[in-house]
A = this chain, B = another copy of it.
Amino acid sequence: MTVTSVHDPSHREALWELEDAFERGDLVSLFGRCTVSYEGRAASDLGAGDRLLVLKPDGAALVHTDEGRQPVNWQPPGSEHRAAVREGRLRVRSTRSSPDETLTVRFSGVHQLSAMAVTGGRDLTLHGSEEDLRTRILERPDLVEPGFEPRETERPSSAGPMDIFGVDADGTPVVVELKRRRVGPDAVGQLARYVRALREELGVEASDGETDDETASDGGDDGETDDEETTRDDSPAVRGILVAPSVTDRAAERLADRGFDHVALEPTPSE
């Protein structure tokens, strides 16, 4: 392995090593005391302190402190790194356009610099994702409910693609929204958008004329003495099912309001 490593280099030495590393397309790790400023989608300033600067050949730049999974400052891949010495101090600047963004790291001292050629080995195999949940359901549709028949995945609609479209035992259209983990109210809103879009698309099957949005399936959770028949009549034109390991209370409320169902299921079989 070609690893370059310098300990307590001068600012100029660090500059040379950096330029060489950029030239070679190396992954760079740089310990030093620095200030950081960023301007672009937002703007930020970070006072002097010891940090780890990581520079990737794809243009990504990361400034890490001693805490957190997230870099305190960064620049996305596709940026261009440049290094210079200004007033005797090493300055690393990473810029990109659209949107215009600049990250500037000014060093008062460079403690350690390493660079290494790193390529490939990025192919991660991941299990337990939403896709696994989908696969699991397509293989065993009865996990959703007996008689459920998936018809299409990623089915397009005016509200975007729905995870699974199918029909239940009665032949009623069903929209299934998948989540790999416990979900909040937002997921219900997402499901609602798809159901609404599908209801519009399939035409209003309600007995009484147009409107389905207006009368729309709510009837109150607040003990409304609404005619159950009306709701029963038009609402089930399209059903909505949220498949997730669990839901929050508020999500459950919203599901109930909409007349949607929740099916508790995990991406991978338990144990």
Contact = CB atoms under 8 A, between A and B. Distances in A.
B190 A41 contact: no
Contact of A185 (B31, B46, B193, B230): B193
Contacts of A49: 118, 120-122
A61 to B, nearest CB: 9
Contact of A189 (B45, B125, B193): B193
Nearest to A180: B42
A270 interface: no
A156 interface: no
Contact of A66 (B7, B119, B190): B119
Sort chain A's interface into a size bin: 35 or more
A11 interface: no
A252 B224 CA distance: 31
Considering residues A42, A48, A129, which has the most beta carbons from chain B within 10 angstroms of its beta carbon?
A: A42
A85 interface: no
Contacts of A189: 186, 189-190, 192-193, 214
A72 interface: yes
A139 to B, nearest CB: 19
A220 to B, nearest CB: 5
B112 A5 contact: yes
Interface stretch (A12-20, A73-81, A141-149, A163-171): A73-81
A76 B66 contact: no
Interface string A13-55: 0000000000001010101010000000111111111111010
Identical copies in the complex = 2
Nearest to A213: B218
Contacts of A192: 189, 214-215
A193 B184 CA distance: 13
A8 interface: yes
B44 A118 contact: no
A154 interface: no
Contact of A56 (B66, B160, B222): B66
Interface string A206-220: 000011111111111
Interface string A107-139: 001011010111111111111110000000000
A226 interface: yes
A76 B68 CA distance: 7
Contacts of A3: 7-8, 31, 111-112
A151 interface: no
